[in-house]
Structure 1
Amino acid sequence: MTRILLVEDDETLQVAVRYNLERAGYEVTVAGDGETALETASTLRPDAVILDIMLPGLDGFEVCRRLRAQSAVPILILTARDDEFNRVLGLELGADDYLTKPFSMRELVARVKALLRRRELLARELAGEPSASDVLTLGPLRIDFAARRVWRETREVTLKPREFELLAYLARHRDRVCRSEELLRAVWGYETFGDYRTLAVHIHGLREKLEDDPRHPRLIETVRGVGYRLTTSHLKPSRC
């Protein structure tokens, strides 16, 4: 059975979330604080983590950072703060998605299903045999799809799990515009909902790591009102 770690100190919300997830067929383990969450995650090895930001002691941001440093487990953060700073900070620390309280249980379950679906698809991809097509060179950029590694010239670039999947999709569909809705479905698994800010934060992260001048991107272009395009026409061959 798929294991979900729920990190939430509000007992009423604990009960409601656990009930709805168990109805959906998941096994749920609850932790009420950050330290317990980290200890539980190391032994349970959950398939996904639902993480509240406002926790006693170690807050959710620090828990997210530590979890991401040791695992690629999908992380959905919950926050009562409906401000952009906290949403963006959670995503930059490695969370895959977020929900702002109050939220509907139906949407929570749908987002968990989307995260797990992406995890399953990734596992299937990695189970395949590597081939020459698993490595793509675009000018100074080299992407190893099977190993999930990226280099710019001779320097390896460390990407978060969703950043890599986003880059991989754009690279495989290079030189054409990928609509924002298409990217959300392909990378996050959203069907009928999605937060464009989540996508924008990950695009920003890629530009910071891959562009010569992130403020004036030439590799990953924004097509206003539509989406994004990874452009290769101006790329020069690697000097390595």
Structure 2
Amino acid sequence: MKGKLLIIEDDAGIGGMVSDYMAKEDYCSRIVEDGNEALAQFQSDAYDLVLLDLMLPGRSGLDILQQIRSISRVPILIVSAKDNEVDKALGLRFGADDYIAKPFSLIELSARIEASIRRATQYSVPEAAASPAAGLLTAGELTVDPDSFMVRKRGEEIKLTAKEFQILKLLVQHPTRVYTKAMLYQLVWNDEYYGDENLINVHMRRLREKIEDDPSSPRYVVTLWGIGYRLGEV
């Protein structure tokens, strides 16, 4: 079996059609037609991808999207008749990995599902590594506390934004790993990377300004030109 899908879709005909087609592609599916039941079902089992309609009875798709994204990095693909730029932007900004409008091609849908699961498999950090039980993380003179979201340098607290903290935690947790900008976007922003280098560059510059003794010659956040970022040898 390639994977397990949660299909959140109030149209039984569409949900059944997608489920039947994906079964031929070697996927197992569970269909939920009510927004209020969606989160309970998601939390009751493990899924490799969520197909999410935006217009649902009981609870909106965007609300479900935010709730799932707050507890999981599972790929989420929006399938909706609301085919306009505002809805697409909202869905992607709230954490969806992809967006396909109704009516859609089952062949295209299958390809997008496979691509989303592949990206998640390539870029994700294992849950056990992402949420270590070991407590404090250290790198040189930095101490990172994943539980309290606190960073200290030489005993003094450094105030970081949520994104800056997530970037630093990734680097400190995996000191030998190199993260491309696409990987950072996937892991920190929970979003597909569209080449917006300025957003990542700004966050890296601000992070360095806060944690480095000399931001122009960083020790902690090191750039590998043309590849990405890693923790320096501190």
Equivalent residue of 1:77, what SS? strand
**1:123-142 alignment, distance < 5 Å:** none
Query: 8 Å contact 2:185–2:193 — kept in the other structure?
Result: no
Deviation beyond 4 Å, 4+ runs, structure 1: 123-128, 171-174, 200-212, 233-238
Equivalent residue of 1:28, what SS? strand
* C-alpha separation in 1, matches of 2:87 and 2:202: 20
Q: Deviations over 1:5-59 (max 9, x none)?
A: 0000111211211111111111100000211110100101211101011111201
The change in CA–CA distance for 1:48 and 1:156 in structure 2 (over 3 A counts) is farther
* C-alpha separation in 2, matches of 1:38 and 1:87: 22
Equivalent residue of 1:46, what SS? coil
- 1:88 aligns to what? 89
The change in CA–CA distance for 1:85 and 1:125 in structure 2 (over 3 A counts) is same
Amino acid at match of 2:91: G
Query: 8 Å contact 1:6–1:30 — kept in the other structure?
Result: yes
Q: Deviations over 1:144-182 (max 9, x none)?
A: xxxxx9x8x9344434xxx97xx99xx9588xxx9xxxx
The two structures, once aligned, show a CA RMSD in angstroms of 4.5
The change in CA–CA distance for 1:7 and 1:206 in structure 2 (over 3 A counts) is farther
- 2:98 aligns to what? 97
* C-alpha separation in 1, matches of 2:33 and 2:161: 35
Query: 8 Å contact 1:91–1:201 — kept in the other structure?
Result: no
Equivalent residue of 1:45, what SS? coil
The size of the alignment, in residue pairs, is 188
Same amino acid, percent of matched pairs: 29
Amino acid at match of 1:91: L
Amino acid at match of 2:162: T
* C-alpha separation in 2, matches of 1:58 and 1:209: 34
* C-alpha separation in 2, matches of 1:125 and 1:37: 24
Query: So what's the TM-score if we normalise by structure 1?
Result: 0.59
Once the 2 structures are TM-superposed, how far is the Cα of residue 89 of structure 1 from its aligned partner? 0.7
- 1:76 aligns to what? 77
Once the 2 structures are TM-superposed, how far is the Cα of residue 208 of structure 1 from its aligned partner? 7.6
Q: Deviations over 1:91-144 (max 9, x none)?
A: 11111111112211111111111111122224587889xxxxxx999xxxxxxx
Structure 1 residue runs without a partner (length 5+): 129-134, 138-148, 189-196, 213-232
**1:24-43 alignment, distance < 5 Å:** 24-43=25-44
Query: 8 Å contact 2:185–2:192 — kept in the other structure?
Result: no
- 1:55 aligns to what? 56
Structure 1 residue 23 corresponds to structure 2 residue 24: yes
Query: 8 Å contact 2:51–2:78 — kept in the other structure?
Result: yes
- 1:158 aligns to what? 162
Structure 2 residue runs without a partner (length 5+): 130-137, 141-148, 172-176, 207-214, 221-234
* C-alpha separation in 2, matches of 1:64 and 1:202: 23
* C-alpha separation in 2, matches of 1:92 and 1:201: 15
- 2:118 aligns to what? 117
